[in-house]
A and B are shown apart, each in its own frame.
Chain A
Amino acid sequence: MTNIRNFSIIAHIDHGKSTLADRFIQYCGIVEERNFQDQILDNMDIERERGITIKSQAVSLPYRAKDGVAYTLNLIDTPGHVDFSYEVSRSLASCEGVLLLIDAAQGVQAQTLANLYLAMEQNLEIIPVINKIDLPAADVNRVRAQVEAELGLDPAGCLICSAKMGIGIQEILEAIVERIPPPKGDPGSPLAALIFDAKYDPFRGTVIHCRVFDGVVRAGDTIRFVHNNATYRVEEVGRFLLHRERTESLSAGEVGYIIAGVKTVSDVRTGDTITLENRPCEKPLHGFKEVKPVVFASIYPIAADDYENLSDCLARYKLNDASFIYEKDSSAALGQGFRCGFLGLLHLDVVQERLEREFGLSIIISVPSVRYRFTLKDGRIIYVDNPAHYPDPLSVIKSEEPYIRASMMLPERYLGAVMKLCMEKRGVNSTLNYPSPGRAEIVYEMPLAEVIFDYYDRFKSITQGYGSFDYDVLDYRESNLVLLDILVNGEKVDALSQIVHRERARARAMQACERLKEEIPRQMFKIAIQGAIGGEIISRTTISPFRKDVTAKCYGGDITRKRKLLEKQKKGKKRMKMIGNVIIPQSAFLAVLKSDAE
């Protein structure tokens, strides 16, 4: 056990986490040069493209240190986005230390801080590492000063590197050996292993990623998940090199996997404790939490006959994403679909993109919603995340919506604009800090609904990319809510209905009308687009018709070409939605969500 180090790399997005992990893998020689592919741990295309790690990954790095001793360095990669902060915390709980990676040009950002706090909560050894020192804009001294002033860490312990150029890699590996304590734990005690991730393997079922704190687990053991009380027989245990490598056992201090005939990842809860059925541990490892989705939206196939296909794809997608939930839903405008829950907007984006990319589906996603809470006259309390289930306003005595604590870090010069944005987004109870000269940290309590609607984009644009943002969910607060409907030629487009704060309804309605006007192509008849609360129209735009589109000539030589054009248009039309005889392209639904600032 003294030769094991369990660590993680935490960083603000794009500060070079995956690149550093790649260097470690290369340096420790577990992949041949010719097989090397950038960002090995980011398996999904979407992760590579966005530079975001979505699923956690783990890898065991064999490392012979300067002292001549061979160590196993278990790198547990963490998801790099606020939507996944619980997953991050479970990965961190599996470690004894972290590398806190900071971009030498950008310095400390909101997620640097958020991640640092998460690591401190777990009492981890923190090694600050300044990355990208090869950049022309790199300012190592300034970042060192931030490490001291803003993070409260000793700048003397700060390492520098360029993961891209391969500079400073060995020094970091040495520091991991020297500074991060070896795991503690007793192989002789009853088994206590922490699940930090689970992946679906089509041949083996669910592969559970875990850190063993006490005891030993072997193939043939019967294990129990403490929180959902299910038992399974272990088929295989092993470690992560680049691929799974079977071992005799996993024992206290080690990081590895268990395959135990668990059908889907949804049967496994991240943060749950695994113990042995016949010799259970006294109490579960602490920190378990049921993760609940906070953003909800409906997904519909563009072509109605794709419904079965969509259903299959969601089921397959779900195999590998336990935090994604869905159930059947239907819309008068868009037909049969599914209501889905996500951890956040990024999670929604990721699901949408993967469905489209990996499963080749064309889908429409309805306006995302948070989960509202209504207290009814009869005393019942109901939660509503789907505008279709909005209660009769006369029966409601109290309506509430979830609030978050949003922390933002930004150069001071953008403060005014950001505060204005936050006020517009109904932010309250702000606190302001100046962690170092010229830099501001501002915290607001804001309705989550305002953040999922067009907040990220505007914040990024206002701060010209220099601002960073992090949030956690606080509580429910009373709010004056109404149901906003959008009508196209008098027909309600139920997929565009939104639950909104009354004061924001008119602006939101106008925005939706304008967006639709831009996206819906002119047709041969006038199209009226309206926003309405109950029966009251609160906004209206019209798309004027075109009055002539017929081609002047159509004789013998033109007919085939014309038919082919028409067939092509008909095909295109099938990919659009018809509502009240109006053709509405998919882009129109998406546009309703887009921000003005672009």
Chain B
Amino acid sequence: MAAVPNLDAHTGFPGLYIHVPFCISKCPYCGFYSITDLSLIRKYLSALRLEMGLVKNQTQAFDTVYIGGGTPSVLSPRQIEEVLYSIRDSFRIAGHAEATIEMNPADTTSNLLRAVWRGGINRLSIGVQSFNDAVLSFLGRRHRSAEAIAAIEAGRKAGFDNLSIDLIYGIPGQDTRSWLETLKQAVALKPDHLSCYELTVENPTPFGRDVRTGHIVLPDETVKTTLFFRTAEFLEKHGYRQYEVSNFARPGRESRHNQKYWEHVPYLGLGPSAHSFSGYERRWNVRSVHSYIEQLECGILPLEGREMLDLEEIRTETLFLGLRTTNGIPLGDFRSRFGSDLLKEKRGIIDFLAANGFLTIQDGALRPTRKGLAVADSLALAL
């Protein structure tokens, strides 16, 4: 018998995402959509306001806002404030909302910080990437380590008590020692949250080409594996809990917005290439800033695609998303959504994976261990 999905039971407040598709310069490893023609910013901002007007929703309150990119901090303080005010014009934002903006350390002027603070932003995500200048220049970043430190200090001074930094590991030539050095500097600055990403080289990027031609040799699997585990061990020792494959937080400082992606909580994405999810439908905007502007100027929603998820697809997503997080897959919740007992259904393989230290069953949830997190994609395939 097909069970009726009970998504409503699962959905709390939705999240709001705004994509700012501009960068001063493209980083050679990055596959996210952004352009460097800043002259389009004004038109983009008008289009974004038009989009907000079209999807305006005052009934449901959002309790997270996330302004990401690209590099949102390429916007001027006034432009950012404008965006933030437009958001409040079009949507109800819950009083306790978590509101994040991504920032490049090179842009964190006190003016900008004051502007975002005034606009209601209460969480900063600073794209530090590394505290090693050689690594920063390899990554094509336009800031140096000193600026990163200054940015964090400036953020604190501006009143932000919820501050996250992004770091990248798995750089060619990087060993455990040099990476731990960066981690040490990071924890010394006492961020509330860290995202530590293994360098992922996407095919169509300059690094992608360099890897194909052999100009860049990425560390081998053993090194990357070691870095992954050492990162988690080191940060845990310093009070940061790994709550997702690449994300670490002090207790209570997990990114509420990002957790929505992993827990199937609905979100609304605005801006070029942004994705939205309603609980059973996912839709996404056109990537091109030009088309985005053009379509909105004609009063059309700039949708590029949409998909209605069937129960099986939602189940698949629940599995692979849940297995990326240490909270794992709450089994009772799974049963009420999909009408099946995961433990019973997959008894053999779950027992095997548990016996081999990949999974545990704890507090009514099927949870990956750290060893399991490292192979979360394979775990999802096995289940």
Contacts and interface: CB of A to CB of B under 8 A. Distances in A.
Interface of A: 523-525, 546-557, 559-560, 562-563, 566-567, 569-570, 573, 581
A563 B200 contact: no
A553 B196 CA distance: 10
Contacts of A523: 378
B316 to A, nearest CB: 6
Contacts of B261: 554-556, 559
A548 B374 contact: yes
B225 interface: yes
Contacts of B377: 549-551, 566
Interface stretch (B2-10, B185-193, B274-282, B337-345): B274-282
B275 A553 contact: no
Query: 5 smallest A-B Cβ distances: which pairs?
Result: A556-B275, A550-B376, A524-B375, A548-B374, A552-B197
Interface of B: 17, 197-200, 221, 224-225, 228, 245-246, 258, 261-262, 267, 269, 273-277, 282, 284, 307, 313, 316-317, 320-321, 324, 348-349, 352, 356, 358, 371, 373-382
B200 A552 contact: yes
Contacts of A563: 313, 316-317, 320
A391 to B, nearest CB: 33
Residue of B246, B373, B375 contacting most chain A CB atoms (<10 Å)? B375
Nearest to A550: B376
B269 A554 contact: no
A270 B162 CA distance: 87
A581 B267 contact: no
Nearest to A556: B275
Given A548-B221, A548-B228, A566-B320, A573 B274 contact: no
B197 A553 contact: yes
Given A548-B224, A563-B317, A581-B352, 4 more contacts: A550-B373, A550-B374, A554-B262, A557-B274
A550 B245 contact: yes
A554 B200 CA distance: 12
A550 B267 contact: no
15 contacts: A547-B375, A548-B221, A548-B224, A548-B228, A549-B377, A550-B324, A554-B261, A554-B262, A555-B258, A557-B273, A559-B321, A560-B282, A560-B307, A566-B380, A569-B381
Contacts of B352: 581
Q: Give the interface SS of chain A, mostly helix, strand, loop or mixed.
A: loop
B324 A556 contact: no
A275 B245 CA distance: 81
Contacts of B320: 562-563, 566
B263 to A, nearest CB: 12
A119 to B, nearest CB: 60
A566 B381 contact: yes
Nearest to B277: A556
Nearest to A523: B378
B278 to A, nearest CB: 12
Contacts of B198: 552
Residue of B221, B316, B317, B378 contacting most chain A CB atoms (<10 Å)? B378
A573 B221 CA distance: 23
A90 B157 CA distance: 99
Contacts of B356: 525
B317 A546 contact: no
B17 A556 contact: yes
A549 B378 contact: yes
B288 to A, nearest CB: 15
Contacts of B269: 556-557
Nearest to B323: A550
A553 B282 contact: no
Nearest to B197: A552
A562 B323 CA distance: 13
A547 B374 contact: yes
B126 to A, nearest CB: 17
A552 B17 CA distance: 20
A419 to B, nearest CB: 46
Nearest to A489: B352
A26 B372 CA distance: 69
B293 to A, nearest CB: 20
A567 B316 contact: yes
Contacts of B317: 559, 563
Given A563-B320, A573-B381, A581-B352, A556 B267 contact: yes
A199 to B, nearest CB: 47
Contacts of B258: 555
A550 B277 contact: no
A562 B348 CA distance: 25
Contact of B381 (A548, A555, A557, A570): A570
A583 to B, nearest CB: 9
A507 B316 CA distance: 44
Contact of B245 (A552, A559, A562): A552
Contacts of A551: 200, 245, 377
Contacts of B276: 556
Nearest to B284: A557
Contacts of B17: 556
Nearest to B312: A567
A524 B258 CA distance: 27
A551 B374 CA distance: 9
Contacts of A557: 269, 273-275, 284
A479 B224 CA distance: 54
Residue of A548, A559, A573, A581 contacting most chain B CB atoms (<10 Å)? A548
B95 to A, nearest CB: 24
B316 A566 contact: yes
Contacts of A553: 197, 200, 246
Contacts of A581: 348-349, 352, 382
Contacts of A555: 258, 261
A235 B5 CA distance: 64
B255 to A, nearest CB: 10
Contacts of A573: 381
Nearest to B313: A563
A244 B275 CA distance: 66
A546 B284 contact: no
Contact of B246 (A549, A552, A560, A562): A552
A557 to B, nearest CB: 5
Given A523-B378, A554-B262, A570-B381, A560 B275 contact: yes
B349 to A, nearest CB: 6
Contacts of B273: 557
A124 to B, nearest CB: 63
Given A553-B200, A566-B320, A548 B246 contact: no
A490 to B, nearest CB: 12
B66 to A, nearest CB: 9
A548 B226 CA distance: 9
A381 B152 CA distance: 86
A559 to B, nearest CB: 6
A581 B354 CA distance: 13
B321 A554 contact: yes
Contact of B375 (A546, A552, A554): A546
A524 B373 CA distance: 11
A291 B221 CA distance: 56
A426 to B, nearest CB: 42
A544 B47 CA distance: 53
